[in-house]
Amino acid sequence: MKRTAALALILAAGQASAQTACDSVSFSDVGWTDITTTTSAAKQVFEALGYDVDVSVLSVPVTFAALSSGDTDVFLGNWLPAQEGAIGPYLDEGSIETVNTNLEGTIYTLAVPAYTYDKGLQSYADISKFAEELDETIYGIEPGNEGNAYLVSLIEEDKFGLGEFEVRESSEQGMLSQVRRAYDREEDVVFLGWAPHPMNANFDLEYLPGGEDFFGGEGVVNTVTRKDFVAECPNAGKLLEQMDFTMEMENTVMGAILDDGEDPDDAVQAWIKENPAILDSWLEGVTTTDGEPGLPAVQEAFGL
C-alpha cells in the first residue's frame, strides 16, 4: 500500500510539474504589424485563460533559431513560400513543427505605385530601365529579412540588370515613410510590399511579376512551434490549431494601429468586441489553465 501511495504521489507531482510548465507560453513577434496583430490576439486570449505569456521581438532568423533551441514556443508569422528556405532545414530535422495555416491569400513581393507601373515599370525586368528615376535603390524592410536577402542576391548576380542597385534596409515604418514621401510627390519608388496591410488601401499599388522563384504567387501564413509543444501542452496546442485569422481582420486592425495610432492590444480588443463570434471557433474544446471552460473566461476578460 505504501509503495502504491508513493507511486501515486510521484505521478501526481509529475503531472503537476507538466501542467506548471504548460501554464506559460512564449511568442516571437518579428515587428511586422500583421504579426504584431495576430500575436496580440493570441497573447490576450491565452492570458484570459490563465497563461503567463511572454512576447519577444526577434528577427526571422533569430526566431527560427530560438524555436529550434526551445527558447521560444510559438511563432504566428511563418510566411510561405517566402520563408521556405529559412525554415526548411528546421522543419526537415524536426526541431520546428507546423501546427496550423492561420491565414490564406497573402501577397509578398516588390511593388510600385500605379503611376510608375503605368510608365512601364511592370516587372522585375523593367526595374533597371528606371535606374535614374529610382536612384538605383530598392527599399526593403528590417535587416536580416529573407526578402531583403533575396533582393541582394539578385544584385550580386546582376539578375535583371540590377548590378548597380542597392537594397536600403529599414523598419516597416521607415520603408513606408519613404514610400509616402515619394508617393505624395509622384516620384518613382520600388519597395517590398505585402497583403494583408493598410498600404494596399493607402497607396494605389501594383505588384511586380518576376520574383516568383522566391516569393511565389499567392501564399499562406503558418503557425509554427518548437518541437513537441503541442504534444506536451495539448490545450494550448488546440487553441493554436484553431486560431485562424482573416484578411479583413488583419487589414482592419493594422489600419487602426498604423493609420489611427492605436495601441495594438486596444485595436485587437476593439475588433474582437465587434466580432465576438470568432471566439467560438478559436476556443472550441479549449479550457482555462484550471480546467474550466475557456470560452466564458475569455468572453468575460473581453467584456462580452
Tell me what pLDDT residue 91 has: 98
Homologous superfamily of domain range 25-105+218-301: Periplasmic binding protein-like II (3.40.190.10)
Q: How would you label 150-165 residue by residue, b for 16+ Cβ within 10 Å and e otherwise?
A: bbbebbeeebbebeeb
Q: Which CATH architecture has domain 107-215?
A: 3-Layer(aba) Sandwich (3.40)
Residue 6: pLDDT above 70?
Answer: no
The reported pLDDT for the residue numbered 146 is 87
Q: How many CA atoms lie within 13 A of 209 on its CB side?
A: 2
Q: How confident is the model at residue 73 (pLDDT cuts 50, 70, 90)?
A: very high
Instruction: Please state the domain extents for the chain.
Output: 25-105+218-301, 107-215
pLDDT at 29 over 80: yes
17 has pLDDT over 90: no
Question: Do residues 231 and 99 lie in contact, with contact meaning Cβ atoms separated by under 8 Å?
Answer: no
Distance from the Cα of residue 185 to its chain's centroid: 31
For the segment 123-132, what is each residue's pLDDT rounded down to a tens digit? Answer: 999 999 999 9
Helices 84-93 and 60-69 cross at an angle (nearest 10°) of 10
- Rounded to an integer, the average pLDDT of 64-90 is 96
Amino acid at the residue 147? G
In Å, the largest CA–CA distance within the chain is: 87
**Domain 107-215 in the same topology as domain 25-105+218-301:** yes
Q: What is the pLDDT of residues 203-231, one digit of tens each?
A: 999 999 999 989 988 899 999 999 999 99
pLDDT of residue 216: 86
Share of the chain above pLDDT 70, in %: 93
Indicate whether 253 pLDDT > 50: yes
Output the nine-digit C-alpha cell for 235: 490545450
DSSP assignment string, 25-63: EEEEE-S-HHHHHHHHHHHHHHHHTT-EEEEEE--HHHH
What's residue 135's pLDDT?
Answer: 97
DSSP string, 115-173: HHHHHT--SGGGGGGGTTTTTTEEE--STT-HHHHHHHHHHHTTGGG-TT-EEE---HH
Cβ contacts of 181-186, under 8 Å, gap ≥ 24: 182/113, 183/113, 186/113, 186/115
Helix (H) or strand (E) holding 199: helix 199-202
Q: Is the pLDDT of residue 15 over 60?
A: no
